[in-house]
Every structure is written in structure tokens, then in C-alpha cells.
Amino acid sequence: MSTYILVHGAWHGGWCWDKVVSILKEKGHKVLAPDLPGHEQKDPIPAGQITLQDYVDKLCKVLDEQSEPVYLVGHSMGGAVITQTAEFRPDKIKKLVYVSAFLLQNGESLTTIASADEDTLLFPNTVISEDKTCATVREDLIKEIFFGDCSHEDVKRAKSLLTNQPAAPLITPVETTSENFGRVPRIYISCTQDRAISPSAQKKMYTNSPCEKVIKMNTSHSPFLAAPEELANHLLSL
């Protein structure tokens, strides 16, 4: 039995992994998909109070409660979170798995990569609140950006559960070293139909930070909804 901790991306919550969680649990594994601070469905912490370190502290607490090293899986923004977490808890992680995620180098932030991605639909259609504390996505483009190949039912549910995204974690650079983060094995799962983080941007990241293995899925940005069994099988193969 292995332990998988699945970390959601911006605007999402642990709910996005529900289908994958069920499959992995059916195979006898322990699976956790926590909500990051500010992404809870009930009584979320105000977006203006949330930092990248808050996300990391939450994950470190989850890791400290595990009896063995885990597969730490991050989707999209969750990639930055698992990277920074690995700097603090390298011995608690068996492998880092980036699912169409931001794989940042030391000193880079999400906006560093997103602003240079010429093929993304997400960055140009992200709306920052007047007080600069949170971000939303243009309603009419949510499906195309995140859920292009997902069922109507899944898209409807997902749109009802999306939250405002705290802004600070998006602009905060990760701080990593080769001694800690650098010694944890990395896997990258690239989504070749992604409109949020373009395939070219994904390739640039996993080329600049070489991974043990690169797996390609012919899906949109949300393979946990579009192809949950395929994604779960890739995780099981590790």
C-alpha cells in the first residue's frame, strides 16, 4: 500500500480529485486530497490573508501525520506548492508528481511562467480584484480554459465549486535548494490539449528542471475529470 497526497490547483479544491481518489482507494492505497487554505467550501479564510507559506504549512502538517514517505501530486498551481513543500520535507516524499503543473526553479513564481506563455488562454483572461487580493477567471471562458473535454455534468459541478483565488501565492517566488528539493525524484504528466498551461510552457519547465520521467496525456487541463482512470493508472505505475 502506498500513500498519495493530491494537491489541487488555483480556484479548485480537493473535490477535483474525487474520481481519482476513488480509483486509488479501490486499489487499496491511502489517498488524501486536502483543501488548501482559502479554498474550503464552508467558511473559507479571506483571500487577502492567504500566502504561499500558508499552503505549504498545511501540506507540511499533512506530511508530518504520515508514517511513511508519500507520492506528493500537484496539479497546476499545486506544482508550486509541492515544490516549496519538498524544500521543507524532502524525507517525507517518495516522489513529486506534477500534473500539467507549474514546475518552478528557485526564484520563479507562477506569474513568471504564466506571463511568458504566449499560448495560454488563462493569463490574459484572469481578472484581479480591485483590492488586489484575489483573482477570478472570465466566466464565459472557464470551460474552454479548464474543462474543454470534460462532460457537461462534470463542468457544471466544477463551476459551482470554484472559489476565488488568493493572489499572493501566484506572485510569490519559490525558494529551493539542490540539497533539499533537488534530491526528491520528479515525474511530469503533461496534458497535450491544455489551454491553461500550454504544452510548450510545460515542456520548457520539465526541460529546465529535468524529471525522472515525462508522461503525456491527450487531455485538457483537467485529466482528473476527463480521463480519471488513465491518470490513476499513471500514478499507480509509479
* Digit-coded pLDDT (tens) for 180-205: 999 999 999 999 999 999 999 999 99
- DSSP β-ladder status, 134-137 and 126-128: antiparallel
Provide CB contacts within 8 A for 92, sequence distance 6+. 63, 64, 66, 69, 70
Instruction: Specify the residue for cell string 503533461.
Output: 190
Q: Do residues 166 and 126 touch, judged by C-beta distance below 8 A?
A: no
- 235 pLDDT higher than 90: yes
Q: Do residues 139 and 160 touch, judged by C-beta distance below 8 A?
A: no
**84-97 tens-digit pLDDT:** 999 999 999 999 99
Q: What is the mean pLDDT of residues 102-114?
A: 97
Instruction: Specify the residue for cell string 524544500.
Output: 87
**201-219 tens-digit pLDDT:** 999 999 999 999 999 999 9
Q: Decide: helix, strand or coil at residue 52.
A: helix
Integer Cα distance of 73 and 17 in angstroms: 11
Q: Which three cell numbers stand for residue 182?
A: 533537488
Of the given ranges (43-52, 117-126, 218-227), which has the lowest mean pLDDT? 43-52
Q: Do residues 198 and 117 touch, judged by C-beta distance below 8 A?
A: yes
Paired strand residues for 190: 216
| pLDDT for 44 | 84
